Structure 1
């Protein structure tokens, strides 16, 4: 087996006890926080499979909440995350689901603030690595381990090409890209994993392109 880095052998720097149940859970929570773009007032956390059975003993609960608070996997505040969320006025609810999913370490996070709401489905695949499988009803495959841009847009001719061209003009290399839509001609979502961080100026410029409704980013 060929390893790309020491990380692939020893796993992530993290607050234990488990790379899958703790570090992976914290990263899923952190991705949710990045995408929501602000601190939520409420967080409903639906746990499936192994997560539902062992989330308290393995620290999955505090890891998910820690990520939602903006803590990285190595943050020493993670064990106190639920208490800290309560102090910040965030209502956290855990729901143990009986439904089975393809992966045992599956969680659905629903964040809300006022009328704003976001729903994310993620899995922890081991070694602290994760995949986001669904976002607000859009099917996708987002690792959360690389810088990424998420672009909500109208399903119109040229929207994808214009975003790709602007990234190329700024010498941003695309490592992975996929597009999901709910229906032809309706709202669609571009997920673009890139090789380097994208600054706010370029992000704002993407937002001015025709047919683009919203742009967010995740930085590794």
Structure 2
């Protein structure tokens, strides 16, 4: 668990009642929205474990939808998110599952429209902090507390070295890095947490590397 101070345990500035079930749920929803890149037409939300049992009382449902609307944890519109989503024409489907998960505060979010679909699985680990453990079927363990590069690429020799070369040229230090793939030789997703900001120029240089399919930059801060 990536706690850096006592304030991480207390939780962020937020609309209550719970840092884990409300603020954490909102942040998982917001990561899904950032991954999708725009307002979706449909949001399918599945709660597991403790989320599934207490989501109504703790507001995990309205918090998750608020995150999907790109509202932060302290946004007072959070409590009205279901109605706001309806007014915007977003179809929200809420489900619970009895499938056992490694962490009790787990949610799976699928966002879609006519052109694309994004699936994110996240867990709320307490104090408003989250870990994303799956992105479109790729396994990870990411908190998005720092700028995080997500690079979808062909699974072949030299891809990591090519991205690292661009970061080195711009004096960007890597704090944490993970690579996940579905099957050998198909596609892989590279996640890189950096210690400093990543400019649009850097993103464009990475996009120009042969074999790079998609580049995005996410951060909850």
TM-score tier, shorter chain, comes to: over 0.9
What is the deviation of 1:9?
Answer: 5.0
Counting matched residue pairs gives: 218
d(CA) in 1 for partners of 2:115, 2:200: 25
In the superposition, the TM-score normalised over structure 2's length comes to 0.95
1:10 is displaced (CA, Å) by: 3.0
Q: Deviations over 1:18-71 (max 9, x none)?
A: 000001011111111111111100000011001011111101001100000001
Give the unaligned 5+ runs of structure 2. Answer: none
Verify the 8 A CA contact 1:130 1:145 in the aligned structure 2: no
TM-score, normalised by the number of residues in structure 1: 0.96
Structure 2 match to 1:59:
59
Deviations 1:141-189 (A, max 9, x none): 1112221010000011111111011011111111100111111111001
Superposed CA RMSD in Å reads 1.2
Three-state SS of the structure 1 residue aligned to 2:56 is coil
Measure the CA separation in 1 of the matches of 2:11 and 2:49.
23
Q: Find out whether 1:44 has 2:66 as its counterpart.
A: no
Aligned ranges 1:1-220 → 2 under 5 Å: 4-5=4-5, 7-8=7-8, 10-219=10-219, 220=221
Cα distance in 2 between the residues matched to 1:135 and 1:9:
25
Distance (whole Å) between structure 2 residues aligned to residue 98 and residue 117 of structure 1: 24
More divergent stretch after superposition (191-200 vs 145-154):
191-200
State the distance in 2 between where 1:57 and 1:10 align. 20
